[in-house]
Amino acid sequence: MSLPRTLGLRDVTLFGLSSIVGTRWLATAAHAGPGSVTLFLLAGLFFVVPMAQCIGLLAARRPHAGGQYVWAREDFGEWHGFLAFWLYWAGIACWFPNAALAYMSIGAYAIDPSLVEHRTLIVSAAVASIAVGVGVNLLGARLGRWNQNAGGVATWLMVTLLIVTGVAVYLRQGSATPLHFAPPLAWETLSFWSQIAFALTGLELLGMMSGEIRDPARTIARAGGLAALLAVLCYSGATLAMVVLQKADTISELYGFMQVAAAGPAWLPAVFAALSMLTVLGQFGGIGSGTARLSYAAARDGLLPPIFARVHPRWQTPHMSMLTLAGVSIALLLLMQLGDTLRAAYQELVSLMVLSSFVPFLYIFLCSWKAGLRLAPVCGIAVTLLALLFAAIPTSDIKNVWLYEAKIFGGLLLLLGAGRWIYAKRVPR
């Protein structure tokens, strides 16, 4: 059974915006200081804009569900297609628990700042958020798109409110943080660069959803450009507003968004908490739906068991692929809590996520090179390689460096080994 084409320009643009912009990255960026604004602009110029060009071209050539899996398979062979699918899928499985921890910490801080120290509560809420976010989109793209639309609108409203508040405070009393826009030269900055680049990923999901987009060649090219521009503006403007409202080194990387909201009007934290929940559900729905289409496409080609290619007869969604992604993400969330603090577990998930999910971007840029683009893929490959290189550098939150490196590289080797084993069990076409 094929997937119905129900998504138009507005849906795809808001889908892209909600998939790219995550308020949790704003806290990380603001903690690093005003130099983050410069890094966002550079990443936008050398990574997001090239990505939009490449995705638009490749989706026009092969407008089917599966995105980089289909593109890598057609251009480089079946194993490369599977690897592009598998590592990205695993990276997103790591992304879910990482994002859930951050967003639930934001919500807990909004209710009572002391709640962020209750680890069991935060982890339990994170599990529930993954289940709800993916569950809504099990009911089909016609319903699920409103989840992503609401997330995109909520993101835009939050960023707008934050910027307006930052401007008002700056005009009245100046900036809480000295506005020096040169990124500091330190190991922390190198590690942070990979997170900045990852924060601006998400456009690749448009390619994965091609099979459900009306006139995908034209729609993805227009929506990708709009979403890319809005995402860079959101991140840059909101980060600047946050460091104006509060000193950068006092902003928590987990719940700093709500700390900064407390510096504005009394009603702002409650509004941000509500909008943040809409944002996380939109992100979980959009990213979960897009990533599930990878395993759906791979199963249709015999690279995964046929159950992953099943389309629900009523909802018309690849429900088994979506449920599997949610289940693995929840298991990883619980597993990474062993032997470390909550903040260390968060950083470990970030590094493993970047290492596994950035490799497939190389395939996107290499495929676009084969399709005739030149400058865009060169820029994209350069940024991707730098992000991979810097992702393994531990941050100051990591006290046991050897345990940290063992977890992320051991996890990556485990993923590669599992991928090779699964591929060996495939059904030859």
Q: What pLDDT score was predicted for residue 392? A: 72
Give the tokens for residue 28: 């990380």
State how far the Cα of 216 lies from the Cα of 220, in Å rounded to an integer.
Answer: 6
State how far the Cα of 131 lies from the Cα of 138, in Å rounded to an integer.
Answer: 10
Give the tokens for residue 286: 């959009």
* C-alpha pair distances (Å), 359 with each of 9, 72, 85, 114, 229: 29, 12, 10, 39, 24
**Is the pLDDT at 279 greater than 70, yes or no?**
yes
Quick: pLDDT tens for 377-408: 999 999 999 888 887 777 666 667 777 777 77
- Give yes or no for a contact between 416 and 88, defined as CB atoms under 8 angstroms apart: no
State how far the Cα of 427 lies from the Cα of 304, in Å rounded to an integer.
Answer: 8
Quick: pLDDT tens for 409-418: 787 788 888 8
State how far the Cα of 392 lies from the Cα of 343, in Å rounded to an integer.
Answer: 16
Could you tell me which residues come within 8 angstroms of residue 212 by beta carbon, excluding any fewer than 6 positions away?
A: 3, 4, 5, 6, 7, 65, 141
Q: How many CB atoms lie within 10 A of CB 240?
A: 25
The rounded percent of the chain whose pLDDT value lies above 70 is 86
* CATH code 1.20.1740.10 for 9-424: yes
Nearest to 364 by CA among 71, 52, 60: 71
Quick: pLDDT tens for 282-305: 777 777 777 777 788 788 888 888
Quick: pLDDT tens for 169-202: 899 989 989 988 887 766 666 667 777 887 888 7
Q: What pLDDT score was predicted for residue 239? A: 92
Quick: pLDDT tens for 365-379: 999 999 999 999 999
Query: First and final CA of the chain: distance in angstroms?
Result: 19
- Give yes or no for a contact between 208 and 294, defined as CB atoms under 8 angstroms apart: yes
Tokens 């030859």 appear where? 428
In this prediction, residues 8-30 reach a mean pLDDT of: 77
Q: What pLDDT score was predicted for residue 145? A: 60
Q: What pLDDT score was predicted for residue 95? A: 78
Quick: pLDDT tens for 127-171: 888 887 777 767 655 555 666 667 767 877 888 888 998 899 899
Kindly indicate the confidence band of residue 424, based on its pLDDT and cuts at 50, 70 and 90: confident
State the average pLDDT for the chain: 80
Kindly indicate the confidence band of residue 281, based on its pLDDT and cuts at 50, 70 and 90: confident
